[in-house]
């Protein structure tokens, strides 16, 4: 009979479901999921091929506006493509709402340097003092950091 066993004298033992190992497995999965999601570095901009760097640092997203410069020269604010006039207006509005806010330039590695300099200049004109360029860490540099 399923779920029962016969011991030497014909006594029937009831089947038990051990819940403690099940709880251990659930906590392990929960911890793995939490650590995985914490390690994700989500970009707030349009997906582009980032230039590589050996000295990149993790970025913060609070109080940061992401400006994407694509390889075709288009500009996007966070994930929305905008015109140059809208870009200048959003920079000014962003600075009024976040006086200590940062602008993160998420530029494609094939974008013209002059287009990125344009974003820098307009951010300075809007009195934004912290402008950073997003890069990805080279694989070789990542291996050295791990050691």
Domain boundaries, the chain: 10-39, 52-145
Sheet holding 80-82, edge to edge: 80-82, 75-77, 64-69, 102-107, 130-133
Give the global pTM: 0.58
Based on C-alpha coordinates, what's the Rg of the chain? 26
Higher pLDDT, 48 or 28: 28
Higher pLDDT, 4 or 30: 30
Instruction: Name which CATH class applies to 52-145.
Output: alpha beta
- What does the pLDDT read at residue 53? 67
Distance CA 137, CA 80 (A): 26
- What does the pLDDT read at residue 139? 60
């Amino acid at each position: 009979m399923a779920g029962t066993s016969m011991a030497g004298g014909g006594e029937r033992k009831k089947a038990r479901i051990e819940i403690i190992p099940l709880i251990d497995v659930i906590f392990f999965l929960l911890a793995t999921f939490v650590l995985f999601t914490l390690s994700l570095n989500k970009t707030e901009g349009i997906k582009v091929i980032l230039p590589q760097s050996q000295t990149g640092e993790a970025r913060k997203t609070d109080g940061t506006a992401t400006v994407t410069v694509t390889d075709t020269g288009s500009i996007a604010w966070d994930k929305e493509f905008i015109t140059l006039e809208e870009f200048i207006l959003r920079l000014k509005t962003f600075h009024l709402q976040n006086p200590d806010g940062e602008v993160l330039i998420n530029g494609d590695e094939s974008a013209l340097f002059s287009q990125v300099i344009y974003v820098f200049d307009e951010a300075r004109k809007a009195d934004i003092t912290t402008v950073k360029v997003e890069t990805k860490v080279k694989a070789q540099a990542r291996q050295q950091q791990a050691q």
